A and B are shown apart, each in its own frame.
Chain A
Amino acid sequence: MNAMLENGVVATVAGVLREYLMLLFGNQFLTDLIMKFIGIGAVIGVILSAAIVFTYAERKVCAFIQVRLGPNRVGGRFGLLQPFADMLKLMSKEDIIPAGCDRVVWALSPMLLFVPSALAYAFFPFDKGAVFADVNVGVFLLIAISSQAVLPFLMGGYASNSKYAMIGGMRTVAQMLSYEAPMVFSLLGIVMLTGSLKMSDIVAVQADNVWFVLLQPVAFVIFVITATAETNRTPFDLVEGESEIVAGAFAEYSGMRWALFFLAEYANLLAVSILTTTFFLGGWSGPVLPGVVWFWLKALFMVFFFMWLRWTLPRTRIDQMLSLSWKVLLPLALANVMCTGIGVYIYRWL
């Protein structure tokens, strides 16, 4: 039991599994391969179950904020089966293909959108020693991958042959590109403090010292704002802007294709919550409880926080959004990097 706490629950379980497989096959390569597949399965499982849990949670949180009851019919008093009902509905819907759309690009867009959001999960330290790919340029790769989400939106918007979708696609590009910059710079301070781009190192440093939210409060605020913008949630949901451009880039999608967008949206929501947890809230570190429990507690709190924002705030306007990014957040993030640099220098000099 102590060993489990020491090394992390997930890592211990994985170790046991690996030993068992080793005994079974007696082949190092085969065991590694199977372990990788189990890892992929686990990560995909996390994403899919997150989508199921979050559809329900979003409805309940929204209802709670809006003085309503939320789902309360399907599956008992608390409507626990609502996500499954939603899923059934989406699957049984007709697949409507708009006239005059670019068929190939149009069909590819929702699938491609899901790729970067799923790929990002490879770098998340869910627990001590439980990172699917603990590469030493983790942060860099993560940002590189997550910025790929722009393209599918633009593809969907362009291929739909709809003006609303086109405006949505254009807005996505403007929004995601301009919020990428302050996001990267807000993370730079952490990288400077840690001296490493490795995700597990960043958490380990926080576990040994203090959470970075205390050392980098400005970066934390910038990161949360940019993360909201990157996930296209209110107050930066201009990309979907239900009351303005109907649903933006995915206005013309229906049924399972739309469900993929939906899935990607929740995968992204969880991803940014996990990132906030990892970078600023100490990841899996915490007393008494096992690391993985701490990790999910923090991540889910951040998810709740993003939902809270979504159902409280109105939407900004495109010019306000862009000027916030370029005129406020980016200079602030740069100043933060500068201050951190000076701070680190002084600390070393002492």
Chain B
Amino acid sequence: MPQTETYILNMGPQHPSTHGVLRVNLELDGERILRATPMMGYLHRGIEKLLEARTYVQGVPYTDRLDYVSSMNNNFGYCRAVEELAGIEVPERAEYIRVIMAELNRIASHQVFIGSLANDLGASTGMLYTFRDREEILDLFDLVCGARMTFHYIRVGGVARDLPPEFAEKCRKFLDRVPEFTAEYANLLMGNEIFQRRLKGVSRLTPEQALAHNMTGPNIRATGIPFDIRKVDGYSVYPRFGFEVPVGENGDNWDRFQVRFREITESARIVRQALDGLPEGPVMAKFPKMLKPPQGEVFSRTEGTRGELGFYIVSDGTAKPYRVHIRRPSFINMQALDDMCRGYLIGDSVVAFSAIDPLMGEVDC
């Protein structure tokens, strides 16, 4: 009787499809995965500690480096938390601009997701197409704030500067292109038999499992739970816009893809409504230069592109926060990786990493 053993395959931190520096220990029986243990920390920079040593306003650029694919959403989340703590009233125009930026960034981030998912499936062409279209959004950001990756545009009290006059027109031009390129992605990927067979029924999670793992964002919505902070909390000016929350049915990778794919269209709808209703006025609230929020604490959350992005800030009445904790959605979503990989094949594991859509800058913080 020959003896058989399982073996450990160490995927990452240098691996083409672990999205940065994720490392996963796979216990394998042949090609089948028995256990997947994510190991992280290769990109840990101690942002929470760094924020304790900066003033509240100086902290904003650090949040850019959390989830560097959707920096605007991070800025947004952090600024909302500080404003709530300090009781700053943000001008309406600034809120509208923030929503426009956050939603544009959501589209860009989902494009990266679709592209990298396609790339992990071996169809590297899909990636080039999504990145080509993402470039248009980056151009818009470039126009607004002069940066393409880490924007530092949404600031405490409002936004850094008003929109340039040509922004509205260029943004509308981009929005008109959205149906065009989503149709192109659908053509390129979704109709493909191999693509469907690789995603459908793979890495299934039940709603109960997703809730137990405390998942948020598109990952939980794929299981059919319409948990979207934009609807649940109705923060900022989101209640003024009509948009749907796409949900999946089976909680498999196909639904995770579908949810994000449909969110692109919904985000575009929000941006268009925000552009239409953009009020005039200042874009920055008036508050003392040296911001000293009263003693207290706040937990504020927003819907980041990867899920619920929460900031817990404790103030001791000085100019620097006493403690900042960031609830990073990618980090918590990673808990589901084991359930998503167990019993599937090596080829499915990279798709599972991709489908959770973790960003190591955010996971490792």
- Find out whether the CB atom of A317 lies under 8 angstroms from the CB atom of B345: yes
- Once A238-B347, A243-B17, A244-B17 are accepted as A-B contacts, the answer to whether A316 and B124 lie under 8 Å apart by CB is no
Residues on A with beta carbons closer than 8 Å to the beta carbon of B345 = 317-319
- Which of A65, A242, A244, A318 has most B Cβ within 10 Å? A244
A279–B122 Cα gap in the complex (Å)?
A: 30
Q: Which of A32-40, A149-157, A184-192, A306-314 contacts B (4 or more CB under 8 A)?
A: A306-314
- Chain A residue nearest to B199 (CB atoms) is A314
- Find out whether the CB atom of A315 lies under 8 angstroms from the CB atom of B194: yes
Q: Confirm or deny: B229 has a beta carbon within 8 angstroms of a beta carbon on chain A.
A: no
Q: Confirm or deny: B7 has a beta carbon within 8 angstroms of a beta carbon on chain A.
A: yes
Residues on A with beta carbons closer than 8 Å to the beta carbon of B350 = 243-244
Q: Confirm or deny: A332 has a beta carbon within 8 angstroms of a beta carbon on chain B.
A: no
- Chain A residue nearest to B195 (CB atoms) is A314
Residues of B in contact, count (CB < 8 Å)? 31
- Find out whether the CB atom of B122 lies under 8 angstroms from the CB atom of A235: yes
- Find out whether the CB atom of B123 lies under 8 angstroms from the CB atom of A312: yes
A67–B10 Cα gap in the complex (Å)?
A: 35
Q: Which of B119, B192, B347 contacts A241 (CB 8 A)?
A: B347
Residues on B with beta carbons closer than 8 Å to the beta carbon of A67 = 128-129, 132
- Find out whether the CB atom of A235 lies under 8 angstroms from the CB atom of B347: no
Q: Confirm or deny: B234 has a beta carbon within 8 angstroms of a beta carbon on chain A.
A: no
A246–B11 Cα gap in the complex (Å)?
A: 10
- Find out whether the CB atom of B346 lies under 8 angstroms from the CB atom of A244: yes
- Find out whether the CB atom of B346 lies under 8 angstroms from the CB atom of A314: no
Q: Which of B7, B194, B197, B346 contacts A245 (CB 8 A)?
A: B346
Segment 246-270 of B: residues with Cβ below 8 Å from A: none
Q: Would you give the 0/1 interface string for B90-134, flagging 1 where the beta carbon is closer than 8 Å to chain A?
A: 000000000000000000000000000011111111101100100
- Find out whether the CB atom of A317 lies under 8 angstroms from the CB atom of B347: yes
Segment 290-349 of B: residues with Cβ below 8 Å from A: 345-349
Q: Which of B7, B121, B348 contacts A314 (CB 8 A)?
A: B121
A65–B129 Cα gap in the complex (Å)?
A: 10
- Find out whether the CB atom of B122 lies under 8 angstroms from the CB atom of A243: yes
Q: Confirm or deny: B231 has a beta carbon within 8 angstroms of a beta carbon on chain A.
A: no
Q: Which of A234, A242, A317 contacts B348 (CB 8 A)?
A: A317
- Find out whether the CB atom of B198 lies under 8 angstroms from the CB atom of A312: no
- Find out whether the CB atom of A66 lies under 8 angstroms from the CB atom of B119: no
A65–B350 Cα gap in the complex (Å)?
A: 24
- Find out whether the CB atom of B124 lies under 8 angstroms from the CB atom of A167: no
Segment 15-68 of B: residues with Cβ below 8 Å from A: 15-17, 31
- Which of B119, B122, B195 has most A Cβ within 10 Å? B122
Q: Confirm or deny: A180 has a beta carbon within 8 angstroms of a beta carbon on chain B.
A: no
- Find out whether the CB atom of B125 lies under 8 angstroms from the CB atom of A65: yes
- Find out whether the CB atom of B347 lies under 8 angstroms from the CB atom of A314: no
Residues on A with beta carbons closer than 8 Å to the beta carbon of B189 = 314
Q: Would you give the 0/1 interface string for B177-207, flagging 1 where the beta carbon is closer than 8 Å to chain A?
A: 0000000000001001011011000000000
CB distance from A240 to the nearest CB of B (A): 9
Q: Confirm or deny: B211 has a beta carbon within 8 angstroms of a beta carbon on chain A.
A: no
Residues on A with beta carbons closer than 8 Å to the beta carbon of B195 = 314
Q: Confirm or deny: A103 has a beta carbon within 8 angstroms of a beta carbon on chain B.
A: no
Residues on B with beta carbons closer than 8 Å to the beta carbon of A237 = 122
- Find out whether the CB atom of B31 lies under 8 angstroms from the CB atom of A314: no
A242–B17 Cα gap in the complex (Å)?
A: 8
Residues on A with beta carbons closer than 8 Å to the beta carbon of B163 = none
Q: Confirm or deny: B9 has a beta carbon within 8 angstroms of a beta carbon on chain A.
A: yes
Q: Which of B16, B31, B128 contacts A167 (CB 8 A)?
A: B31
A104–B252 Cα gap in the complex (Å)?
A: 46
- Once A67-B128, A235-B122, A245-B346 are accepted as A-B contacts, the answer to whether A318 and B31 lie under 8 Å apart by CB is yes
A40–B121 Cα gap in the complex (Å)?
A: 41
- Chain B residue nearest to A174 (CB atoms) is B31
Q: Confirm or deny: A68 has a beta carbon within 8 angstroms of a beta carbon on chain B.
A: yes
Q: Confirm or deny: A73 has a beta carbon within 8 angstroms of a beta carbon on chain B.
A: no
- Once A242-B16, A244-B17 are accepted as A-B contacts, the answer to whether A318 and B198 lie under 8 Å apart by CB is no
Q: Confirm or deny: A163 has a beta carbon within 8 angstroms of a beta carbon on chain B.
A: yes
Q: Confirm or deny: A320 has a beta carbon within 8 angstroms of a beta carbon on chain B.
A: yes
Going nearest first, the 5 A-B pairs with the smallest beta carbon separation are: A315-B122, A314-B123, A243-B17, A314-B121, A66-B128
Would you give 27 A-B contacts (Cβ < 8 Å), ordered by A? A66-B124, A67-B128, A67-B129, A167-B9, A167-B31, A243-B16, A243-B17, A243-B119, A243-B120, A243-B121, A244-B349, A312-B125, A313-B122, A313-B123, A314-B126, A314-B189, A314-B192, A314-B194, A314-B195, A315-B347, A316-B198, A317-B197, A317-B347, A317-B348, A318-B345, A319-B345, A320-B198
Known contacts A314-B195, A315-B194, A318-B346, then 12 further A-B pairs from the complex at CB < 8 Å, ordered by chain A residue: A65-B125, A67-B129, A68-B128, A237-B122, A241-B347, A243-B16, A245-B346, A314-B121, A315-B198, A316-B197, A317-B348, A318-B345
